Amino acid sequence: MNRLPKIRKTSLGIIIFCLAYLEGTSQIDARLMRDPDVSETELVFSYGGDLWVVPKQGGTARHLTSPKGEEKNPKFSPDGKTIAFSGYYDGNADIYAISTKGGIPVRITHHPSSDFMIDWYPDNENILFK
């Protein structure tokens, strides 16, 4: 008769362990596509802290950036050849630019406070940031 309660306690312990394990392993990777911008031919967006480019008609997205840090708020230049964005690399955000073909981002601003990319001016050379 003493054996029955031990089995129930063991089964209950196993069930609690399994539920706790499933709760811990069922976390969803919730990184989403963010900050999209569209040029005449392409779409740029941030995903997982990096920038991605995909043809406007659809297709496979191409990884554009992958340095340590996070890139946000990408904006195409008016001619569609350059993308400016806020890069969080050295403790605060500065504005960087990169060719739509890829390469190494070029730092545009050097302010001690964070800079947030807003958009390009129509002249294709100046940017608006705050």
Q: What is the pTM of this model?
A: 0.75
The secondary structure element, H or E, covering residue 98 is: strand 93-99
Task: Identify the pLDDT of residue 90.
Answer: 81
* Coil, strand or helix at 16: helix
More confident residue, 130 or 19: 130
Instruction: Check residue 15 and give its pLDDT.
Output: 62
Q: Which are the contacts of 30, defined by CB distance < 8 A and separation ≥ 6?
A: none
65 against 98, higher pLDDT: 98
Look at residue 18 in the predicted model and tell me its pLDDT.
Answer: 56
- pLDDT at 27 > cutoff 70: no
Q: How many CB atoms lie within 10 A of CB 129?
A: 19
DSSP lists the bridge partners of residue 13 as none
